[in-house]
Structure 1
Amino acid sequence: MSGQRCSGVHRTQMQWIDTDASGIYHNSTVIRLVEAAEAQLMTARGVRGFTPCAPRAHYEVDFETPLVFGQAVETTVWLDRVGATSMGFSFEVWGEPYDDRLRRRAAFGRYVAVHVGADADPGALSAVPWPAAWVEALTAPA
């Protein structure tokens, strides 16, 4: 992609279910937050049906600071690269000010989704090209 990256933003608050008994978020919560931001990106760009046919082939995250129960959180996902059968994304998760905590980045990372097609057999997945309409929607200027 060239120029401005398209992005999706998800804002929420850490719920009890997102935390362990100490009130600090589970590492796996980041994946849920990122997927919610990705859904915002796809909805805003008019891409329907992305998630069921775009499994993750690679996912990495660096954790910087914990999030706590009740804290507001902002997650942003950016589309970095569109290939013939895969897309690369990056993300950041920010904890908003809460009690004596300042706004701080909680986690960042990147992942790759691969297009397997809407009619893919789960036992025999193989990559297929992205629909041209999706590529156009995701690479067009905002």
Structure 2
Amino acid sequence: MDSFPAASVERTVEWVDTDASGHQHNSAILRWVEAAEAELFRKLELPDYFPSAPRVQQVINYKAKLWFGQRVTASVRVQALGRTSLTLEFEVRGHPLETPGGGTPDGGTSDGGNVAAFGTVTTVHVPYGTTTAEPWPDHVVRAVQGFKDARDGI
């Protein structure tokens, strides 16, 4: 698994990312993951991935709260490349919250560095003008597998 390509982005939890409870809204996690996904496909030089890769499954497991002003790192890694599908695994980690006394708005303690959310996102290749999944183009397979093979020393 470690030999597949990966990417990370850092973000700050903005006010718009929070809900009425003051911590991250559930949708913020996926936006940060999508930013890391975009970074991954820029790194792989595959700008044509997004217009033809709709999501067919998203699984998000929430473990900790993230607060306004807190820095986070969202990381993605290709978990599996199938004939027509691609599964990314991800995690979002919070950095230590810088508040007076190190506490959180709900009276808890900042557990910066711990995984706040993790899961998977699965996409399929649906070329422009079509409505069903088709095999990934050779250049996508080469980019993902070539990165893997280079890391494996093959």
Using the size of structure 2 for normalisation, the TM-score is: 0.84
**Map of 2:63 onto structure 1:** 64
Q: Which residues of structure 2 form unaligned runs of 5+? A: 103-109
**Map of 2:22 onto structure 1:** 23
Instruction: Give 1:41 shift.
Output: 0.4
Superposition RMSD in Å: 1.4
> What SS does the corresponding residue of 1:28 show, helix, strand or coil?
helix
**Map of 1:49 onto structure 2:** 48
Equivalent residue letter for 1:91: F
Equivalent residue letter for 1:114: V
Equivalent residue letter for 1:69: F
**Map of 1:33 onto structure 2:** 32
Equivalent residue letter for 1:58: Q
> What SS does the corresponding residue of 2:41 show, helix, strand or coil?
helix
Whole-angstrom distance in 1 between the partners of 2:15 and 2:51 = 28
For residues 49-74 of structure 1, the C-alpha deviation after alignment (integer angstroms, 9 at most, x for no partner) is 21121011111011000111000000
Whole-angstrom distance in 2 between the partners of 1:52 and 1:35 = 13
**Map of 2:121 onto structure 1:** 111
Decide which of 138, 142, 145 is 1:136's aligned counterpart.
142
- Write 1 or 2 for the structure with the bigger share of helix: 2
Larger of the two Rg values belongs to structure: 2
Instruction: Give 1:129 shift.
Output: 1.2
> What SS does the corresponding residue of 2:26 show, helix, strand or coil?
coil
Instruction: Give 1:3 shift.
Output: 6.2
Whole-angstrom distance in 1 between the partners of 2:13 and 2:64 = 14
Change over 3 Å in CA distance of 1:22–1:3 after alignment to 2:
closer
Which segments of structure 1 move beyond 2 Å, counting only runs of 4 or more? none
For residues 71-123 of structure 1, the C-alpha deviation after alignment (integer angstroms, 9 at most, x for no partner) is 00001001011111101110000001113213221000012100001233xxx
Percent identity over the alignment? Answer: 36
